[in-house]
Amino acid sequence: MAKRLIKLTVNGDEMEVAVEPRDLLIHTLREQLELTGAHIGCDTSHCGACTVDLDGRSVKSCTMFTVQADGAEITTVEGMAHPDGTLHAIQEAFRQMHGLQCGFCTPGMIMRAHRLLQENPTPTEEEIRWGISGNLCRCTGYQNIVKAVQLASETLSQKVAAE
Partner 1 sequence: MIPGDFDYLRPKTKSEALVMLRDGGDEARPIAGGHSLIPMMKLRMAAPEKVVDLGGLADLKHISIEKDITIGAATTQHQLIESGALFDACPILRETALLIADPQIRYCGTLGGNVANGDPGNDMPALMQCLDASYIIESASGKREIKARDFYHAAYFTALETGELITAIRFKTPEAGHGYSYQKLKRKVGDYATAAAAVTLSMSEDNVTGASVALTNLADTPLYVAEAADILTSSPLSADTIKEAVKAAEAMMAPAADGRGSSEYRTRMGGVMVQRAIEAAVERADKTPKKGGLFGWLRG
Ligand X SMILES: Cc1cc2nc3c(=O)[nH]c(=O)nc-3n(C[C@H](O)[C@H](O)[C@H](O)COP(=O)(O)OP(=O)(O)OC[C@H]3O[C@@H](n4cnc5c(N)ncnc54)[C@H](O)[C@@H]3O)c2cc1C
Q: How many residues of this chain bind ligand FES (CB under 6 A)?
A: 22
Q: Are 75 and 11 in contact (CB under 8 A)?
A: yes
Question: In this chain, which stretch among 86-94, 121-129, 135-143, 147-155 interacts with ligand FES, using CB under 6 A?
Answer: 135-143
Question: Is position 105 an interface residue for ligand FES (rule: CB under 6 A)?
Answer: yes
Calpha distance 101→94 (Å, rounded): 10
Residue ranges in 95-114 that form contacts with partner 1 under rule CB under 8 A = 112
Residue 135 neighbours by CB under 8 Å, 6+ apart: 47, 48, 49, 51, 105, 108, 109, 112
> In what helix (H) or strand (E) does residue 92 lie, and over which residues does it extend?
helix 89-96
Question: Is position 146 an interface residue for partner 1 (rule: CB under 8 A)?
Answer: no
Contact letters for partner 1, residues 50-89 (x by CB under 8 A): -x-----xxxx--xxx-xx-x-------------------
| Positive or negative: CA dihedral 10, 145, 60, 35 | positive
| Positive or negative: CA dihedral 143, 120, 11, 46 | positive
Q: Which does 130 bind (CB under 5 to 8 A by kind): partner 1, ligand FES, ligand X, none?
A: partner 1
Question: Is position 138 an interface residue for ligand FES (rule: CB under 6 A)?
Answer: yes
Q: Which residues are near partner 1 by CB under 8 A?
A: 1, 4, 20-22, 24, 43-46, 48, 51, 57-60, 63-65, 67-68, 70, 112, 116, 130-131, 133-134
